[in-house]
Structure 1
Amino acid sequence: MESPRSSRLSFYDSGSVIPSPIEGRKCGIAINVPKELRPSISLTLAGVYLPLFDNESLAYSQWPPCGPGHYELFLACNGISERRTITVLPTHFEEEDFNLVFQELTDILPAMLTNRLIACGAQISPPPARDQMSIEEEEFVKLRDAIMGTKERLGMMQILAILQRDCVKILIPKLEVRSVERVRRPDISRLPQAMSMPGNVLSSSRLYQMYDTTVDQSFEAYENRLVKAYALALRSRLSRLQARLKSMTPPPAMATDVDNLANEFHLAYMRATFLREIRNASITSVRITMVLLKNPAYRAVLQGYLGLSQQAAVNFEEPALTAPLNNFPYLYQRWAGLKLLNALLQVCSEKGYRCTNHHWVRSFNKNTTIQVMNDGRPAVQLWSDRAGLLVSYVPWSPLGAAAVGAPHAPTGVAIFLEAPGQIGKAMLFDPKYWVDAKPLPENTAKPVKRKTKKTIADEYNRKRSALDPLQTDVNEILQFKQQIRGIENASEIIYSSIMYPGLRKPVTNDIEALPAHPCDGESLHKTLVELLRRLIP
């Protein structure tokens, strides 16, 4: 994002003005305010105060190294204020790469994984057949009908307004300490506690204060929790649809309609103040109550919630998708791991393996959900009677047990091959976003007036050839392999690799660097399939 002409903030690197910060690098922030006002400057980045410096010519600060994403930069100075949203783009990825990762994670890969699991015998719901509308158009129509309503059913906009005026309340008992003259329902079980209060015993038969049982009105009724769960689900799906549309180039015409719908629904949600009083909005299972059946507004919520959760679809549940640019390093690594799972399922299907466990993939009615778990259990397991072999796809990190329990499951993958009574074998794949970028080799080719596919490919490979895996990542794998060599009955590692946005090359004698380019996903799939066909019996 370039600095607007009227902006008091600009960025510079090595003495030259740059349009925006560069991923992973520090840069200077020039602050253009009168010299006499500089002592009152305050500059925050995402709410964190940045250090300020001053010289004769200008005031300045320093932008810290950070990953890709949108960052809020706020300047305040004696009545002067400026708020800027700064966009930092990935250095080694094109916009097309970012869009492809988002599209594959939200739609293509979940459907492909579901179909391949079904081919291996998994008992899950197949993905739905598409009609003439695009995926985004289908989602928009469903969300619009759920929020704005139809001729047959109330929408959440109307429902929230109705329930704000008259919603279900429940009575919650609570204890209060009152003088004995005001006690109406004393709690006799608390008598010893009341007698132990200092100065509370006036005589052998009289207390000054006693515990009284009272009630408070609360909005924490099950029906209200269902309303909030439904509203939050709609907001989450709207947010993901907005992010998906913004990633398209150019954004489709309906992007404006989606933004307007999201804004209107946000206002309606904020006006429904009773929702703020509901702290627990989790619904583990839907139960039918008389309020849900008899009250038209609550009945519409029940029908909408069931309809939303029972639509025939395959969803990849990943919170990082709500802010895809800020979470792009993690999403890229997760994308590479799921591409590996897709290749593994294809190879196992070809060799006659049958799915015995699909822990990450769950089906309820017509809805299939893929959710990455960080519980140490295999994501998918497949068995072959012919080979007498169990193949397991397991989240893995070279840091070992230290990574289990982290907010995100490890993006690395270990594929285990286990046969009864034999030492197991393992293949290690470690996707990495961050790389060691060396200076680009000099381009000795003559300049061309018109680019061809060959010249574009040559330039692409020239840029990728300057990328290497970080040495720290290589050392982590080497250290992990060294550690397990001393463990009795540990699996034998027959292959290890780092998946990264560079070119295929050997890193050490037993670690290979595999190219994982989103814009060339077919080549990655072909490479992985050939590799797994060779290593899996």
Structure 2
Amino acid sequence: MPREWDPGLLVLDDVPADDWRDVVVHLNGRPLPLRLEVVGGAVRIAAHWERASSGAWRLEVLRKDGAPWSSVIRIPPAKLGDAALAAMVDDLESGLPASIAVALDRLGAFGGIDWRPPRRVTLAQELEHVRRALVGDGGRRGLIDVLNEVARDPHKVLADVHPWVRAEKARRPSPAHLPQAFAKAGNLTRDGRPMSVVDGRVESTFDVYENRLLRSFADSVDVRLRRLRRWLRLAPVVAGDVEAELAALAAALRKARWAARFLDEVGSLRRAPTDLTMVLLRKPAYRAALEGFLAFRRSAAIRATVPALDAPMSDVPTLYEAWGTLTLVEALLEAAADEDFRVVSQRLCSGVEGEPAVVLPPEVPAVRLEHVDGRVVVLTPQRRFPRGACSDLHSVSFEQIPDATLEVRWPGRRALFLFDPKYKLWGDGSGTAGDGRPKKEDIDKMHAYRDAIRDRDGGRPVRFAAILYPGPEAWFGSDVAALPALPGGDGLRKRLRELLREIISADGGCWSAHDVRGEWS
């Protein structure tokens, strides 16, 4: 089993060396070049295993004369211990999203809106929310019971459909669509008659508002149940009866969902579940679904929309980069509150039609903060600096895309501060968390940001560029640094908050890394 960042040799023991021309090896869909190597005194087919990050790597071996073989190789993170990985997932699941929402509210982002940021939810609270949604409580039925009852008599309606059919098979051609039949290329016979027309038919369908509501309820509960089970697996201590209960609930939900498999034909809910229909009023099961869904939505904790959270061990670097960026956002909002800024626009909190969520919108400002004295702070994830002087801020070499760009404007001047969370580090696989070294290519990238990004007059607006990584602090001059970022504590948040307060302060236009480096070293 290869270690994180360690090179290796992949040997095909069961394939004769003479068959090397008939073998293809794929790693995560990418073909690997094969060669013959002497291994253990015998000639074997081998492939070079490149340095790989933690995660899941799918290996496939395809042979012309045999069945394909595949396996998933899982590489655990070498520089994040179990506690740090659990802390990172916990922060992304609820800690950071809740803190960011509260900070936005404190800075006036939701002024005039009747909305309160959800509080952080504990494991016990989330377990109770999911349990009530699935099995109900004293006065409300659970989703499992509702699905089983609705499956016996689901609501359906007759809907008009307009398929294209051969003209001779049309039952009731639609007059409104006849012009399309004549205008459709290659659809006319020699005597000018359409070969196919739009027919008007009526079919029964389950795709109605009430069933969409039920499916959205089932999907939302399923997502939170799976998230809770992953969360508990990463928790340090979990009672065995809790895991057994969740497994039983998951099995019961799968069985009920299979019984109500008509929901596979139903689309997603297109609006908030607030409308009352005669079906919801007259059918107790559907009415119970509405009541349960509304109660479940009210209990929803704010989340971070990071797809990698669905499989935390499969993409640790992506999770780490999201965690680092959200920690930067949290620290910025805290520093802005200390300096009496206010939010004038934000795209961090969304989810009006679904569960509340914190997102990191790429290439557009995530939050804009202003001060009464004219200072402006804009944070943009994945901001692009195109090559060439066609735009105000650009690159004189290749296109540059930092993970997080902080643009600070004072009256008459501005500056850029760039941050790149990087899980990658260079160290031996036997090391412990936090003892690695930053990779040369990542530090070179920070120098490239600093030197390549220019303004319209050719000036260099980048005042500071740093990577956030799970290793010790290192400085490369006065304006490039590698800052320690290890999940499981608030050290990174505190340090970023101090640094950002200095950056966005009234005299921050004269900011220098020398002013804070001593405090950090």
Please, what TM-score do these two structures have when normalized by structure 1?
0.75
Match of 1:469 in 2: 439
Given candidates 107, 112, 116, the residue that maps to 1:125 is 116
- CA shift, 1:332, in A, is 0.9
CA contact (8 A) 1:45 1:73 kept: yes
C-alpha contact (below 8 Å) 1:174/1:216 kept by paired residues? no
Picking from 320, 325, 330, the partner of 2:313 is 325
Q: Is the 8 A contact 1:334 1:411 kept in 2?
A: no
Please give the residue correspondences for 1:53-92 in structure 2 after superposition, counting only pairs within 5 Å. Answer: 62=47, 65-71=51-57, 85-92=72-79
CA offset at residue 512 of structure 1? Answer: 1.4
Q: Is the 8 A contact 1:38 1:59 kept in 2?
A: no
- For the pair 1:277 / 2:265, whether they are aligned, the reply is yes
CA contact (8 A) 1:176 1:214 kept: no
Kept in 2, the 8 Å contact 1:426–1:492? The answer is: yes
Q: Per-residue CA shift, 1:46-78, capped at 9, x if unaligned?
A: 678877778785866545654322455678999
Letter in 1 for 2:445: E
Structure 1 residue 209: Cα displacement = 7.9
Match of 1:445 in 2: none
Partner of residue 497, structure 2: 529
Matches within 5 A, 1:29-428: 29=10, 33=14, 62=47, 65-71=51-57, 85-123=72-110, 124-128=115-119, 135-170=122-157, 171-177=159-165, 184-189=171-176, 193=181, 197=187, 199=189, 212-253=199-240, 254-278=242-266, 280-286=267-273, 287-311=275-299, 313-362=301-350, 368-374=356-362, 376-385=363-372, 387-397=373-383, 412-420=403-411, 422-428=412-418
Measured at CA, do residues 177 and 339 of structure 1 come closer, stay the same or move farther in structure 2, by a change above 3 Å? Answer: closer
Distance 1:114 1:207 in 2: 59
User: Which whole-Å CA distance do the structure 1 matches of 2:426 and 2:347 have between them?
Assistant: 35
State the partner residue of 1:10: none
User: CA 1:433–1:411 in 2, change beyond 3 Å: closer, same or farther?
Assistant: farther
Per-residue CA deviation, residues 330-349 of structure 1 (Å, 9 max, x unaligned), is: 11112112222222222222
Structure 2: how far apart are the matches of 1:212 and 1:439?
66
Quote how far apart the aligned CAs of 1:431 are.
1.3
Counterpart CA distance in 2 for 1:314 and 1:179 is 54
Q: CA deviation at 1:397?
A: 4.9
- Counterpart code for 1:154: R
Query: SS in structure 1 opposite 2:236?
Result: coil
**For residues 378-527 of structure 1, what are the structure 2 equivalents within 5 Å?**
378-385=365-372, 387-397=373-383, 412-420=403-411, 422-437=412-427, 464=435, 466-471=436-441, 473-488=442-457, 492-519=461-488, 521-527=489-495
Deviations 1:229-274 (A, max 9, x none): 2222112111211211111234442123223322332233234321
| Partner of residue 397, structure 2 | none
Is the 8 Å Cα contact of residues 7 and 50 (structure 2) preserved in structure 1? yes
SS of corresponding position for 2:140: coil
Aligned mates of 1:176, 1:346 — CA distance in 2: 59
CA distance 1:159–1:239, shift in 2 (3 Å): same
2: CA distance between counterparts of 1:395 and 1:36?
A: 50
Q: Distance in 1 between matches of 2:243 and 2:326?
A: 28
3-state secondary structure, aligned to 1:424: strand
Question: Residue 225 of structure 1: CA displacement?
Answer: 2.0
CA distance in 2, matches of 1:512, 1:71: 32
1:100 and 1:161 map into 2 onto residues whose CA distance is: 38
The 2-side partners of 1:210 and 1:416 are apart by 58
> What SS does the aligned partner of 2:141 have?
coil
Q: 1:425 to 1:46 in 2, by over 3 A?
A: closer
Whether contact under 8 Å (1:69, 1:326) holds in the other structure is yes
- State percent identity of aligned pairs: 27
Structure 1 residues 76 and 525: CA distance shift in structure 2, 3 A: same
Shift of 1:102: 0.7
CA contact under 8 A between 1:50 and 1:61: conserved in structure 2? no
Q: Distance in 2 between matches of 1:439 and 1:275?
A: 48
Measured at CA, do residues 346 and 366 of structure 1 come closer, stay the same or move farther in structure 2, by a change above 3 Å? Answer: farther
Aligned length: 477
* RMSD of equivalent CA atoms: 4.0
Counterpart of 1:434 in structure 2: which amino acid? K
Residue 4 of structure 2: aligned partner: 23
Distance across 1 between alignment mates of 2:310 and 2:12: 32
Cα distance in structure 1, aligned partners of 2:499 and 2:151: 60
Asked if the contact 2:331–2:496 (Cα under 8 Å) also holds between the matched residues in 1, the reply is yes
SS of the equivalent of 1:517 reads: coil
The alignment partner of 1:417 has SS state of strand
Matched letter for residue 496 of structure 2? L
| Distance in 1 of aligned mates of 2:504 and 2:13 | 63
**Contiguous gaps of at least 5 residues in structure 2:** 389-400, 506-521
Distance 2:295 2:198 in 1: 47
| Cα distance change, pair 115–247 in 1 and its aligned pair in 2 (3 A) | same
Residue 269 of structure 1 aligns with an amino acid whose one-letter code is R
Task: Measure, in 2, the Cα distance between the counterparts of 1:207 and 1:400.
Answer: 51
Q: Secondary structure at the match of 1:298?
A: helix
Q: Deviations over 1:172-226 (max 9, x none)?
A: 322454566x754233355564698555859xxx999865422232222222222
Comparing both chains, which one has the higher relative contact order based on Cα–Cα distances under 8 Å and sequence gaps of 6 or more?
2
SS in 2 for 1:518: coil
* Matched residue type, 1:309: R
CA contact (8 A) 1:397 1:430 kept: no
> Is the Cα–Cα contact under 8 Å of residues 28 and 60 in structure 1 kept in the other structure?
no
Residues 1:189 and 1:361: Cα distance change in structure 2 (over 3 Å): closer
TM-score (norm 2): 0.77
Q: Is the 8 A contact 1:46 1:71 kept in 2?
A: yes
